Structure 1
Amino acid sequence: MAESSKRGDVKSSNGEVVKTIDLKKTITLLNGVTIIVGSMIGSGIFISPTGVYLKTGSSASSILIWLLCGIYTMIGAYCYAELGCLIKRSAGDYAYVYEAFGPLVAFIRMWIDVIVTRPCNVAIISLTFAQYVLEPIYYMCNQPPIARQLLAAACILIITFVNCWSVKASTRVQDICTYAKVSALIIIIMTGIVKLGMGYTINWESPFEGTTTNAGDMTMAFYTGLFAYTGWSYLNCMVEEMKDPVKDMPRAIFISCGLVTLIYVLANVSYFTILSKSEIFESNALAVRVGYQMYGVMWWIIPLFVALSTFGGVNGTILTTSRIFLVAAQIDQMPKCLAMINTKFSTPIPSVLFVAIVSLGYLLFPDIFTLMNYVGFVTWLTFGLAVLSLIYFRIKWKKVERPIRVNIVFPIIYLAVTVFLIIFAFIGGPFESMMGTLIMMSAIPVYWICVLWKRKPKPFNRMLESINIGVQKMFLVILPAMPEKAM
């Protein structure tokens, strides 16, 4: 991949010539596929199948839920392909919401990412990484919490260093981890195929037996399955670093989502072939249970592969999240220092470090999963707003050239399902949803103070300027040139 970066001179408001630097365009189609697949396949497919099965009650209905989750994800990704080729900014749905609904709604959307969603995801995935690394060491024993926290912190710090050093290195890490996690699932799938060939079909003799008739349980199963598909929109946060986004982004999205859906469905078929119903109910990590039963002294290879899977998940989240904050800083919705790029490595070091520091802070919380539940419905509200913006752009920007034009039926279907998920979130978890709403609304006073309030005290402005200069000197960073069609 090319290592050259675009440099140019721009004039500031006082007429001075300022050196600028852009992000490198190093991401190819293969890198795009591994970024999406590596972000989607994290800990979910190794943990979520038990939750889906508990809610659906049967193997066949579980497989159906996984397939429907994949179709829903594909529709959303299809809509994002048009948006990504229409608005080529490395901020994903934040950029689309900003253009369609204005700075306040976009700030609220970003605030959830800053405060909870993305840093919590990094913390959770890194803790899962630590758990599986320690599994062979503390086999059949309780793992010390401090050991998990320290190992999770080490994971975040290593990934942070790689992302500060080189985009090429971070995508290389993503490539390797993606190959490892796909290999682990292929091993499990092949084991299931062999067992089916040997006549182990007890769980498939009455596949729909025990299926729940409760709509609420089926909806919760759908929610649980969708957790494993999280990450399908992450490539949209890297569009400015793609060599040919118009050509490669749609291909990467379709290849990745189709591949992940196929792997998830086949992996669940293997789980239900190899394990009995009681074993599925009793285990929260089916892949490791399969390793215990099928691979003898080599059982540890599954925890190792899962650890690599989650390591790639942390890398993908930090890689893409830092770009959201970078773009937000470019349009003055985050501190200006977060918009700066290193002059030697062409990486957004300040925004990468910001994501890492907040994520490390969440490792100190005893129960960050509860915090994630508070903004569960906000996640789908975010996706829904982005897809709604597609319809808005169709009306407002009728004459704008669109490299990809999605049939309007698909965003309508996606929005209908999303509205149902949001409504059910309030019905099924009113307290959690209200807490999520309060967290979301807390962005409004912050927006007023930090963005709208222009006449801040001079000492405060001088302090911000000192921070910006200090960051520039410490990390050798400067502001990039703004894109031609800046938001």
Structure 2
Amino acid sequence: MNAERGEDRSGGSSTGPGLADMEAQKDGKERGPDRVTLKKEIGLLSACTIIIGNIIGSGIFISPKGVLEHSGSVGLALVVWLLGGCIAALGSLCYAELGVTIPKSGGDYSYVTEIFGGLMGFLLLWSAVLIMYPTTLAVIALTFSSYVLQPVFPNCVPPYMATRMLSATCLLLLTWVNCSSVRMATRIQDVFTVGKLMALGLIIIVGLVQICNGNYEALTPQVAFSLDRTPSVGQIALAFLQASFAFSGWNFLNYVTEEVVEPRRNLPRAIYISIPLVTFVYTLTNIAYFSSMSPEELLSSNAVAVTFGEKLLGVFSVIMPISVALSTFGGINGYLFTSSSALPPSSPTSSAPSRFPGHLALTSR
């Protein structure tokens, strides 16, 4: 009988998997062989600093010239900045809905893959990895090195090799930080975001002092909306394009959705807090520029904030290029932190090569 029972057991195991085997197979299918669970270390404050830190970069220190040039008047330029913030807010709200509906890291890649399939997601991913991300980081890093070296070479353009070497060093350092620790990267982002807001706060305070002293002629309605020429539709579009560059980065929190604590609650909240705050700060910063500089002075400047500092801060004008450099440094960190999650390791697809980008996304966390 024991032999028969043994035969029954062996027969049962030979005809199909046991209960334990079935549970193991089911669990394996649900998790997948490459399933990776990311640590949820991004709270509401860090989520806000990621959005603010990615938006506030070199744009607000450079773009005011382009917005004013194409809009044709101070008043219309301020309207463009306000509407640019509204457009960024609408886009952010759409992304908040996408982030709640499709709670995956990866941002655009995850949404395109979910909606249009793996091939379209694959094409988007590799165009971003090979073209968009490297070129954007290179531009920001070169801006950073140019402003860092400007006080060292006040009477000439910084040397070509010096700017390239400093840019490469900055990128390597922040890449190492982001590969080492999420917490370290978010702490750096928190600190540099506060630094950016303090730099813009200094500009705003100095501008408000100028307004209190009666220097607001360019902001009066009669002067602000006086047009030497009527801008065409194309010029208005270019003005919005310049403003949109300064607002770019509002969608980057969606690249790390799986690392956000309670994303269904904190993702929309971070957007509701960050975008209006950035729009408010940008508008006040432009008002400060116009209270201290004539439109002609602003249009002749290649770096508005630096010209602003040279005119009003005297010996302390060196603060401005340093502030812009710190702002771009934080922007590089935020861009690296979010773009490294372009391919979420928790959702590999058959269209994307699993080893190379998946490994990068995994090791960067």
**TM-score (norm. length: structure 1):** 0.66
Q: Which of structures 1 and 2 has the larger relative contact order (alpha carbons within 8 angstroms, sep 6+)?
A: 2
Partner of 1:373: none
Tell me which amino acid in the other structure corresponds to 1:141.
C
Change (3 A) 1:329 1:142: farther
Q: State the 1:307 CA deviation.
A: 0.9
Change (3 A) 1:294 1:327: same
Q: State the 1:10 CA deviation.
A: 8.7
Partner of 1:478: none
**1:336 corresponds to which of 330, 355, 364:** 355
Deviation track 1:439-465 (CA, whole Å, cap 9, x = no partner) reads: xxxxxxxxxxxxxxxxxxxxxxxxxxx
Change (3 A) 1:21 1:60: same
Partner of 1:148: 163
Counterparts in 2 of 1:81-480, with a 5 A limit?
A: 81-205=96-220, 206-210=223-227, 212-327=230-345, 330-332=348-350, 333-340=352-359, 348-349=362-363
For structure 1, list consecutive stretches of 5 or more residues without a partner in the other structure: 1-8, 342-346, 353-487
Deviation track 1:236-271 (CA, whole Å, cap 9, x = no partner) reads: 001110111011000001111110011111111111
Tell me which amino acid in the other structure corresponds to 2:353.
M
Tell me which amino acid in the other structure corresponds to 2:357.
L
Contact preservation (8 Å) 1:11, 1:18? no
Change (3 A) 1:274 1:334: farther
Tell me which amino acid in the other structure corresponds to 2:321.
P
Q: State the 1:280 CA deviation.
A: 0.5
In 1: Cα distance, 2:151 partner to 2:39 partner? 40
In 1: Cα distance, 2:357 partner to 2:72 partner? 48
Contact preservation (8 Å) 1:94, 1:110? yes
Give the match's secondary structure for 1:90.
coil
In 2: Cα distance, 1:216 partner to 1:10 partner? 60
Residue 38 of structure 2 is aligned to residue 23 of structure 1: yes
Contact preservation (8 Å) 1:38, 1:312? yes
User: How many residues end up aligned between the 2 structures?
Assistant: 336
In 2: Cα distance, 1:145 partner to 1:75 partner? 41
Q: State the 1:126 CA deviation.
A: 0.7
Partner of 1:80: 95
Contact preservation (8 Å) 2:343, 2:358? yes
For structure 2, list consecutive stretches of 5 or more residues without a partner in the other structure: 1-23
In 2: Cα distance, 1:167 partner to 1:67 partner? 34
Change (3 A) 1:21 1:192: same
In 2: Cα distance, 1:223 partner to 1:212 partner? 18
In 2: Cα distance, 1:45 partner to 1:326 partner? 31
In 2: Cα distance, 1:94 partner to 1:58 partner? 39
Give the match's secondary structure for 1:324.
coil
In 1: Cα distance, 2:358 partner to 2:26 partner? 18
**TM-score (norm. length: structure 2):** 0.87
Deviation track 1:400-434 (CA, whole Å, cap 9, x = no partner) reads: xxxxxxxxxxxxxxxxxxxxxxxxxxxxxxxxxxx
Q: State the 1:11 CA deviation.
A: 9.0
Q: State the 1:308 CA deviation.
A: 1.0
In 1: Cα distance, 2:39 partner to 2:62 partner? 36
Partner of 2:79: 64
Tell me which amino acid in the other structure corresponds to 1:348.
L
**1:32 corresponds to which of 38, 47, 54:** 47
Identity rate of aligned residues, in percent? 41
Q: From the CA coordinates, give the structure whose radius of gyration is larger.
A: 2
Contact preservation (8 Å) 2:109, 2:343? no
RMSD: 2.2
